[in-house]
């Protein structure tokens, strides 16, 4: 229950179990390959999933790292974290002084997704990344709020000629929606 951000914290036992469990949900689809964040917790998750599905991790993409929370990284709820909160509402930093602006996080996540879609037309790619990056990137391409992304939960988004669609969020199949043109 601490803010991890870009701090390269290794995957723990619970995370390994979540990665193994994720393989079952991912088996419902046909996948071509995996990419991941280079942070060790995401990279190991991708390796576990790849082994379980008989696939290959083809890239560790630096722009898929989690948001940099600055001085808030490593902190849990309490006075020290509260002292870093920005007052006066939304400033683009998501509430913490010195944090990477949410818009910058969304930009690099969307850039990575667009690059993958451009370089691999029609490919079904598993992207193993981090909750905040995933949530902010989806909000940008879909143009709507997205709730917290659960650890090792299946979220399926598609890029097509009509834009982006979100088919599964945190393991829950969604009703078909109109694609976003972002």
Instruction: Specify the pLDDT at position 181.
Output: 55
SS (H, E, C) the chain: CCCCCCCCCCCCHHHHHHHHHHHHHHCCCCCCEEEECCCHHHHHHHHHHHHHHCCCEEEECHHHCCCCCHHHCCCCCCHHHHHHECCCCCCCCCCECCCCCHHHHHHHHHHHHHHHHHHCCCCCEEEECCHHHHHHHHHHHHCCCCCCCCCCCCCEEEEECCEEEEEEECCEECCCCCCECC
Output the pLDDT for position 2.
84
**What pLDDT does 160 receive?**
85
Which of 136, 45, 31, 131 is closest to 94 using CA atoms?
Answer: 136
Q: What CATH architecture is 18-66+104-173?
A: 3-Layer(aba) Sandwich (3.40)
Domain ranges of the chain: 18-66+104-173
Q: pLDDT 10s digit of each residue in the chain, 182 long?
A: 789 999 999 999 999 999 999 999 999 999 999 999 999 999 999 999 999 999 999 999 999 999 999 999 999 999 999 899 886 444 455 678 899 999 999 999 999 999 999 999 999 999 999 999 999 999 999 999 999 999 989 999 998 888 999 999 999 999 876 556 55
Buried b (16+ CB within 10 A) or exposed e, 9-43: bebeeebeebbeebeeebeeeebebbbbbebebbb
């Amino acid at each position: 229950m601490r803010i991890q951000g870009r701090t390269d914290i290794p995957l723990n036992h619970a995370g390994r179990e979540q990665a193994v469990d994720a393989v079952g949900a991912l088996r419902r689809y046909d996948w071509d390959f995996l990419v991941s964040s280079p942070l060790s917790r995401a990279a190991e998750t991708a390796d576990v999933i790849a082994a379980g599905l008989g696939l290959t991790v083809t890239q560790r993409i630096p722009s898929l790292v989690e948001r940099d929370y600055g001085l808030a990284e490593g902190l849990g709820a309490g006075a020290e974290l509260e002292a870093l909160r920005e007052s006066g509402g939304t400033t683009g930093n998501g509430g913490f002084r010195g944090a990477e602006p949410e818009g910058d996080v969304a930009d690099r996540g969307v850039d990575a997704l667009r690059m993958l879609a451009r370089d691999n037309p029609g490919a079904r790619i598993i992207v193993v990344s981090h909750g905040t990056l995933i949530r902010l990137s989806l909000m940008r391409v879909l143009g709507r709020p997205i709730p917290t992304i659960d650890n090792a939960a299946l979220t399926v988004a598609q890029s097509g000629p009509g834009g982006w669609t979100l088919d599964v969020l945190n393991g829950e199949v969604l009703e078909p929606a109109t694609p976003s043109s972002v």
